[in-house]
Structure 1
Amino acid sequence: MKSAIKAVKSPTKLHWFFITVLILGIFFRFYNLDGQVYWHDEALTSSRIAGYTKKEIRSAVFTGEIIRVQDLQKYQNSSPEKNFWDTIKVLATDANEHPPLYYGLLRLWANIFGFSITAIRCFSVIISLLIFPCLYWLCWELFRSELIGWMAIAIASLSPYFVIYAREAREYSLWTVLTLLVSILLLRAIRYTRNDAKPQENLKNWGGYAIALTLGFYTFPLSGIMAIGQGLYLIIIEKFRWTRSVLFYITALIFSLLAFSPWLTVMIINSSKGTSWTAFPLPFSIWLKLWAMHFSHGFIFIADEFGFNTLVNYSTLPLLLLLIFSAFYFLCRHTPRQIWLFILILTLTLPLFLVLPDLILGGQRSTSSRYLVPMYLGIQIAIAYLLATPTHKPRLQKSITLLILTLGLISCLFYVNSETSWNKVVSFHNPKIVQAIAQSKNPLLITVSFGINSGNILALSHALDPNLNLLLINNSGDRFDWEIIPDLPSEFSDLYFLNTSDRFLQTLESEYNLETKLIYHDNHLWLWKST
């Protein structure tokens, strides 16, 4: 890192341009943090760091008795009865696919700064700022070029993808930083080993790699796939020979796996079903459309409620695909194999690991862009190299640079001023649910604990009127929701039914002589109202 820092000279006009872009990117990460939907998964983040299991929440609030929205906020905030170790226990029992590093750190942060939406999201934002120096350092390790490092920072600063996940109360900012750090330390360790470094230097560099990889495991399990890709890279550049670098890599990997084994054991024993949705099949046309969104969202996000159906997105996609292809072609033509191969493996390892099961077995493992952090990093580094390397077409390079940054700027302006976005998934339309219920003077909202409802009602508790009455029914056992017929009070002006089955509604209509109409629905939410 010292050599990378020394490479930065006195600021020039170009430096000031990049610094301005960086400042804009930082501004977009902090601006209006509480203005967007606090969605299902973020609400679960709050309940986990607060130390409450799903079972505790369901048994306390899904009782068939009337409570108020403000009563749900207990499970989104700190409590004297819960401590740091309760957070770890919740993760181990409820969500062990999410290792404890991010959530443990967030719990400590929230103990100091509070559990508000702004405070919780601010933790991710601050972590995301470390992406910039790490990205510069990685580009320096690869290219020994200050300009390429600054170009990569500029692209990432205004990338809608990195801005969106920087502002979310999830572990993806930390995972991005650790992905960069692991990559840097691997390249550095290989370089020192090849240069016949002293034993203590090798120990320091490969030890640093092992520690960073361990932290990656404890942040997101897909770090293991990234490590396999790095091992493949090392074997190829060592020409399939047993070298010191290969020995050190295997030793570091074994150390990291042993260090991660306590949580790996927890994952195996408790076997969470939190990612079972990824195996649900999708129509191939939708799958392709989501992959088109992957390539677009790295550079542009100006979309309708379906996330892609706008003229801007359709018109820019071919140009972006051409740019990505050109960047990798240029990279492979003009850099040594150990450079282009590293970036190619960084980009492709996780997508291939997720895409192949989708195509062979069916499912949607690869459709979640939050699982593809290394791919986005690889693409943007390749494009930074294309745009910052002197060629005989400097005007074209400048034009493309300005176009990419302009699209990113417009996208970020659009995103930070919107109340929802494509990454809110099952909670994307929560604002419409809130708006519909707000039309009534004295409503009662009724839902059951099935599926996404228990998490989404926590998310809605951040937006609904705190005094709104709720009737929450627990159907997490063997009984289905239509077998549990609640007593419906008569003092409410309107009854709203969120994500309840048709049979449940039919039973209520028959039992209470009600008539209901569907007033809103999408792929995840159905809101009915009594008439």
Structure 2
Amino acid sequence: MSSPPKRSSRFGNLGGFWPGGSGPGRAGWVIGFVLVVAVLLRFSALDRAVYWYDETITSVRIAGYTKEQVEDFFQPQGRPVFPADLAPLQRSGDRPWLATLQSLATETPDQVPLYYLLLRGWTHLAGDSVTAIRAFSALVSLLVFPALVLFGQAWLADWPRARSVIGLVIGLMAVSPIQVVYAREARGYSLAVVLFLLASWALLRALRLDRLGKPTRSAWMTYGLLVALNFYGHLPLALGIAAQGAYVALRGWLERSHRGWNALRHNLLAWGGSLLGALVLFSPWLVCWLTYRKPMGWIDRELTWGTLVQRWGLNFSAIALDWQACFDRPLFDITQKTDPIALSWHWLPIGLLLALVAFSIRRLLRVASLDIWLFPLLTGAIALPFALLDAVDGGQRSTIARYFLPAYLALTWLLAFGLSEAWANQRRRSWAAGAIALLWAVGLWSSSQGVMAPTWWNKYSSYDDPAIAQRVSELQPPVVISGNALRLLTLARRLPPQAQLIYLEEPDLPLPETIQRAIAYRPQTEWLDRLKTNPRYQIQAIEPFNNTWAIQVLDRPAGPG
């Protein structure tokens, strides 16, 4: 029987992956290559994909504007506005930092401020172009890899094949489509992944120090601070923090026979104290959230059973394969009961991936100790209550991937552990090598497709914006009308300088007399219905775009001679 690998004094079981000592070795060169690929996937062509609605809101927030102030740029309604007129709305630095906090707190308190403040500081150094803004997310996403090392050391502290597991996690995360997609978006999701990994590391470190009989006060304080940063970084991370509390409680309960009740009581009090401290630090924003939060009606929209199950499959498989690479329509339409695409043979690879995860869980439960297997299982299960709620009561909460980022991490940990165990078994090494190569190749292929595409599934309501902007640009002159000022601001980035953007939110306002042809992009329903009843206008839906219409002003009949 081979002895466990020798550990480096600084990097634990990762000593062979890093420079120093006898050199990086073959595994080190492999990890180095993987990280180069990770950098290329995250930084290549950052300005290619459409800068979608949510990203436009990011720019508006760091510039310190509210929705009402955005609408003021289009006043009076019906006045043509040109893209250059809207530049101040997406230029940070003109308004005070407090304006950024106020716009977030009063309009979108669920968008917690840490990412926006960091991004605003970044734009002062790098500028506020699309590339510069997205580069911040990409840069933060690279911190995932050292955070994985820290977490892996704490999670697998006594596991002889920890180095193999962590190396595989790094390899899978480098090309994981869900990680690449969110690393390239001007939102705080890559920061959220880093913060959750650090909080997980801090928790496991505190519990290990307690088991070794060492002082834990500073460790629990560190954990409490990181929990507060999780709350300020991405509010849905509270689900992952709750899973950590369940881990502390359930682990202590299952170990009570040999550690006693005092250990359980002590750790629960320490975790509760850290959580309380984090909530105190978060309380200013919590008050804003309770005061100004608004219901999100779309989240409760009922889906058909087939659509709900299909979305679960698509989201689950996104750890290794992005199915958008196989379709020319978006995977999701959160405004409808059904989605534009339907899976068929695609269920086979999804089933195989599910079987691989099931094998990994089975192996984890068989060979690992309680403190190792319990953490990823609880973290990965955070979406299950919401899936049950959606199945019973209706809604699409469980189908929004960004709400469950810790679960994607847990699934990757499980896969890496199972593949590492299969590799360690001589009889299974060949299929393990094939599975690793296939997962990496498929992840690299589908992530690369997303990097080069002008639009992708995560653009949701803005998926068709590039094609719509092209239709508008073909008009002479280019004219687009909308009842949503933020939609016009989003579309303006892809329009020529001479394009006319017209905001018509009031249903009784007429189409300006100077307009002969226009594209109506998400107009107000009442306004469009009134226009349809006027014989002067010919109105035709533009398929397959959602709520987009071509408007043609017909020649007026000649008067009496």
- Which TM bucket (shorter chain)? over 0.9
* Residue ranges of structure 1 left out of the alignment (5+ in a row): 476-480
TM-superposed CA distance for 1:14, in Å, is 2.8
**Equivalent residue, structure 2, for 1:74:** 88
Residue 284 of structure 2, aligned match among 259, 262, 265: 262
1:53-112 residue CA offsets vs partner (Å, 9 max, x unmatched): 0011123315322211222232111353x1211100100011100111111111111122
User: Is the counterpart of residue 340 in structure 1 residue 373 in structure 2?
Assistant: yes
**Equivalent residue, structure 2, for 1:226:** 240
**Equivalent residue, structure 2, for 1:468:** 499
CA contact (8 A) 1:280 1:363 kept: yes
Q: Distance in 2 between matches of 1:290 and 1:456?
A: 26
Q: Distance in 2 between matches of 1:248 and 1:15?
A: 38
1:223-278 residue CA offsets vs partner (Å, 9 max, x unmatched): 222222111111111117443222211110110111111110110111233x3321
**Equivalent residue, structure 2, for 1:107:** 120
Q: Distance in 1 between matches of 2:391 and 2:518?
A: 44
Q: Distance in 1 between matches of 2:478 and 2:454?
A: 24
User: Is the counterpart of residue 151 in structure 1 residue 168 in structure 2?
Assistant: yes
Matches within 5 A, 1:167-206: 167-198=184-215, 202-206=216-220
TM-superposed CA distance for 1:16, in Å, is 1.5
**Equivalent residue, structure 2, for 1:324:** 357
One-letter amino acid of the counterpart of residue 485, structure 1: L
1:308-363 residue CA offsets vs partner (Å, 9 max, x unmatched): 657774442111111111111111111111111111011112x0242233223211
**Equivalent residue, structure 1, for 2:130:** 117
One-letter amino acid of the counterpart of residue 175, structure 1: A
User: Is the counterpart of residue 276 in structure 1 residue 309 in structure 2?
Assistant: no
User: Is the counterpart of residue 366 in structure 1 residue 387 in structure 2?
Assistant: no
TM-superposed CA distance for 1:13, in Å, is 1.9
User: Is the counterpart of residue 245 in structure 1 residue 267 in structure 2?
Assistant: yes
One-letter amino acid of the counterpart of residue 279, structure 2: L
User: Is the counterpart of residue 426 in structure 1 residue 464 in structure 2?
Assistant: no
Q: Distance in 1 between matches of 2:453 and 2:104?
A: 31
* Greater mean alpha carbon deviation, residues 351-360 or residues 431-440: 351-360
**Equivalent residue, structure 1, for 2:33:** 20
User: Is the counterpart of residue 382 in structure 1 residue 382 in structure 2?
Assistant: no
| CA 1:142–1:509: 2 relative to 1, 3 Å | closer
**Equivalent residue, structure 2, for 1:478:** none
User: Is the counterpart of residue 458 in structure 1 residue 489 in structure 2?
Assistant: yes
| CA 1:256–1:62: 2 relative to 1, 3 Å | same
SS of residue in 1 equivalent to 2:498: coil
SS of residue in 2 equivalent to 1:218: helix
TM-superposed CA distance for 1:2, in Å, is 6.8
User: Is the counterpart of residue 508 in structure 1 residue 531 in structure 2?
Assistant: yes
One-letter amino acid of the counterpart of residue 108, structure 1: G
* Residue ranges of structure 2 left out of the alignment (5+ in a row): 1-7, 17-22, 332-340, 554-561
Matches within 5 A, 1:39-50: 39-50=52-63
**RMSD between aligned alpha carbons?**
2.0
| CA 1:147–1:62: 2 relative to 1, 3 Å | farther
One-letter amino acid of the counterpart of residue 99, structure 1: V
CA contact (8 A) 1:303 1:310 kept: no
CA contact (8 A) 2:137 2:184 kept: yes
SS of residue in 1 equivalent to 2:520: strand
Residue 139 of structure 1, aligned match among 152, 161, 164: 152
One-letter amino acid of the counterpart of residue 495, structure 1: A
| CA 1:195–1:393: 2 relative to 1, 3 Å | same
1:207-230 residue CA offsets vs partner (Å, 9 max, x unmatched): 110010000011112222222211
SS of residue in 2 equivalent to 1:530: strand
One-letter amino acid of the counterpart of residue 138, structure 2: V
SS of residue in 2 equivalent to 1:485: coil
CA contact (8 A) 2:92 2:120 kept: no
Q: Distance in 2 between matches of 1:2 and 1:210?
A: 27
Q: Distance in 2 between matches of 1:16 and 1:513?
A: 69
TM-superposed CA distance for 1:140, in Å, is 2.1
Q: Distance in 1 between matches of 2:113 and 2:400?
A: 21
Residue 472 of structure 2, aligned match among 419, 431, 437: 437
Residue 355 of structure 1, aligned match among 361, 377, 387: 387
**Equivalent residue, structure 1, for 2:540:** 517
One-letter amino acid of the counterpart of residue 500, structure 1: P
Q: Which has the larger radius of gyration?
A: 2
CA contact (8 A) 2:299 2:396 kept: yes
Q: Distance in 2 between matches of 1:3 and 1:243?
A: 33
User: Is the counterpart of residue 415 in structure 1 residue 450 in structure 2?
Assistant: yes
Q: Distance in 2 between matches of 1:105 and 1:356?
A: 36
SS of residue in 2 equivalent to 1:446: strand
CA contact (8 A) 2:505 2:524 kept: no
User: Is the counterpart of residue 4 in structure 1 residue 7 in structure 2?
Assistant: no
Q: TM-score, normalised by structure 2?
A: 0.87
Q: Distance in 2 between matches of 1:313 and 1:424?
A: 22
CA contact (8 A) 1:58 1:474 kept: no
| CA 1:190–1:112: 2 relative to 1, 3 Å | same
Q: Distance in 1 between matches of 2:527 and 2:288?
A: 37
One-letter amino acid of the counterpart of residue 369, structure 2: P
TM-superposed CA distance for 1:510, in Å, is 4.5
* Greater mean alpha carbon deviation, residues 155-164 or residues 466-475: 466-475
One-letter amino acid of the counterpart of residue 468, structure 1: A
1:182-208 residue CA offsets vs partner (Å, 9 max, x unmatched): 11110000000111113xxx1221111
One-letter amino acid of the counterpart of residue 246, structure 2: L
One-letter amino acid of the counterpart of residue 467, structure 1: Q
**Equivalent residue, structure 2, for 1:286:** 307
* Greater mean alpha carbon deviation, residues 100-109 or residues 239-248: 239-248
CA contact (8 A) 1:73 1:458 kept: no
| CA 1:164–1:236: 2 relative to 1, 3 Å | same
One-letter amino acid of the counterpart of residue 174, structure 1: L
1:141-181 residue CA offsets vs partner (Å, 9 max, x unmatched): 22241121111000000101100000001011111001111
CA contact (8 A) 1:441 1:493 kept: no
TM-superposed CA distance for 1:4, in Å, is 3.0
How many residues get paired?
A: 512
CA contact (8 A) 1:48 1:87 kept: yes
One-letter amino acid of the counterpart of residue 87, structure 1: T
